[in-house]
Amino acid sequence: MKQMSIRALSLIAFTVVFVIGIFSLTYLSMTRGDDWTSFPANRHIYKDGVMVNAGDITDRFGTVLATTENGQRIFNDDYYTRLSTLHAVGDFNGFIKTGLATAKWDKLTGYNKITGLYDAKKGGNNIKMTISADLNTVALKALGNYSGAVGVYNYKTGEMLCMVSSPSYDPNEKNEETDGIYINRFLSSSYPPGSTFKVVTTIAALETLPDAESREYDCDYGTYVDGELISCMSKHHTVNLRDALAKSCNAYFSQLAIDLGADTMQKYADKLGFNTPAEIDGITAKAGTVDLDKIRKVDLGWAGMGQYTDLANPLQYLTLMGAIAGGGKAAKPYMIDSITTVEGIEIYRGGVSYTERMFSESTATAVHAMMRNCVTSNYGDYRFPDLNVCAKTGTAEVDQGVTPHSWFVGFVENNDCPLAFVVVAENAGAGVGVARTVANKVLQAAKQIV
């Protein structure tokens, strides 16, 4: 009798553990099934560590960037096309986390939570992107030997036309992981924004100070804050907001940021997309960061012109440019035009959607005019033939003795050519040099296809 009850108890205990096990397995397969299926040891999807049977990835004109032939992944024949589209397309070993090959592996293989890989046996889905391979190649070549990122999008429709990260590599060759080649710098990097951040401080001022546009500050090769010098490259004397932005006066923007105060600056940095990761087609970018908590006055001065600990993400910045061009809210950038099954049935189509309003329409109009003035009065309108460019340069100090990063951000003021752009070239010096030149080359090519 005693032995029976031990057996019965054991059986009950076993049953309880079994039931818990079944529930756990079901739960895990629903929540973690995607990870298990995409694990490189899964031979239904991977052969020798390479994803097979996945559908085609094409650019906006139908140029095939990656396809499957006889169980092998094949990239485009052209060397520069492979390099310039690599970070958007992704590799098929899973190294480039934000590339479509990895981030959208389920769409490419036809994997589905309910039916698993049943449909995948027929062949995966095809993804058509909004980017142009040729435009990407123009951007990669324009960057030359500089590391960095270029993004161009249509600020009315949200379509990404160009997304390039350098350095890149040839996916047909074996590669060593050097210089962060697997990182898509457009999505997964954040850089000190330098003077491009003066646009953020300008917006904060226009939104909160009734006299923002007429407010003046003095510049004598900089300004002293609590005995510490915030230096400026020139003596700009007494300047107003519009001239200070065009001349990129550090003395002006540091004093303006201090008068706005840390709370207001933090509030607008957050509203303009800092501290929240941007997203494109469900792929998460690295967040830009601005943290003004318990900040010293002089550091707030530096932060107001894009130094201190400020960091900007290129996708976030592109969206901000879209918001200025778009009257205070942006068309969200997207890069997947459509997804179709092997039978040709469209199962997804990208389209325009908008961010929350970041600032008022009147603020957008004022910043727009000031950024246009930056080009006409300082950077040189003639350097952008047949484009009405509105822009801001940035020369972002990194470490002592290291050449600064070169930034050029803005948009084209033309209803027939609604392009917004971000260029960052690492350690390339003044924004008005390398980044501006890259931007013009890419915009001239983008104008032909928009």
Smallest gap from residue 306 Cβ to Zn ion (A) = 15
Question: Which tokens go with 94?
Answer: 């899973």
Smallest gap from residue 250 Cβ to Zn ion (A) = 6
User: Near Zn ion by CB under 5 A, which window of 74-82, 218-226, 385-393, 395-403?
Assistant: 218-226
Output b/e per residue, 335-374; b: 16+ Cβ within 10 A. bbbbbbbeeeeeeeebeeeebeebbeeebbebbbebbbeb
Dihedral angle, C-alpha 128, 129, 131, 136, nearest 10 °: -80
Q: Which is nearer to Zn ion, 236 or 372 (CB)?
A: 236
Q: Which is nearer to Zn ion, 231 or 362 (CB)?
A: 231
Q: Are 136 and 85 spatial neighbours (Cβ–Cβ below 8 Å)?
A: yes
Does 87 sit near Zn ion (CB under 5 A)? no
Q: Which is nearer to Zn ion, 249 or 339 (CB)?
A: 249
Peptide bond preceding 404 in cis form (omega within 30 of 0): no
Smallest gap from residue 364 Cβ to Zn ion (A) = 26
User: What distance in Å separates the CA atoms of residue 77 and residue 324, rounded to the nearest whole number?
Assistant: 39
Q: Which is nearer to Zn ion, 68 or 248 (CB)?
A: 248
Smallest gap from residue 280 Cβ to Zn ion (A) = 37
Cβ-based neighbour number of residue 244 at 10 Å: 26
Within 236-296, residue ranges assigned H as helices are 241-247, 250-260, 262-271
Output b/e per residue, 80-110; b: 16+ Cβ within 10 A. bbbbbbbbbbbbbbbbbebbbbbbbbbbbbb
Does 257 sit near Zn ion (CB under 5 A)? no
User: What distance in Å separates the CA atoms of residue 242 and residue 371, rounded to the nearest whole number?
Assistant: 9
User: What distance in Å separates the CA atoms of residue 297 and residue 308, rounded to the nearest whole number?
Assistant: 11
Interface size with Zn ion, residues (CB under 5 A): 5
- The distance of Cα 59 from the centroid of its chain, to the nearest Å, equals 19
Does 256 sit near Zn ion (CB under 5 A)? no
Smallest gap from residue 301 Cβ to Zn ion (A) = 12
User: Near Zn ion by CB under 5 A, which window of 67-75, 224-232, 282-290, 379-387?
Assistant: 224-232
Interface with Zn ion (CB under 5 A), residue from 185, 236, 286, 436: 236
Does 246 sit near Zn ion (CB under 5 A)? no
Smallest gap from residue 234 Cβ to Zn ion (A) = 6
* SS3 category, 352: coil
DSSP3 helix / strand / coil % (the chain, rounded to 5): 40, 20, 40
Interface with Zn ion (CB under 5 A), residue from 131, 142, 230, 232: 232
Q: Show contacts with Zn ion in window 156-195 (CB under 5 A).
A: none
Does 389 sit near Zn ion (CB under 5 A)? no
Q: Which is nearer to Zn ion, 102 or 254 (CB)?
A: 254
Closest CA to 272 of 284, 260, 252, 288: 288
β-sheet bridge partners, residue 226 = none
Q: What is Dmax (Cα atoms) for the chain?
A: 101
Does 249 sit near Zn ion (CB under 5 A)? yes
Interface with Zn ion (CB under 5 A), residue from 219, 262, 292, 330: 219
Residue 380 phi, psi dihedral angles, 5° rounding: 100, 105
Does 245 sit near Zn ion (CB under 5 A)? no
Q: Which is nearer to Zn ion, 122 or 237 (CB)?
A: 237
Q: Which is nearer to Zn ion, 112 or 214 (CB)?
A: 214
User: Near Zn ion by CB under 5 A, which window of 14-22, 74-82, 242-250, 427-435?
Assistant: 242-250
Q: Which is nearer to Zn ion, 251 or 331 (CB)?
A: 251
Positions in the binding site for Zn ion (CB under 5 A):
219, 232, 236, 249, 251
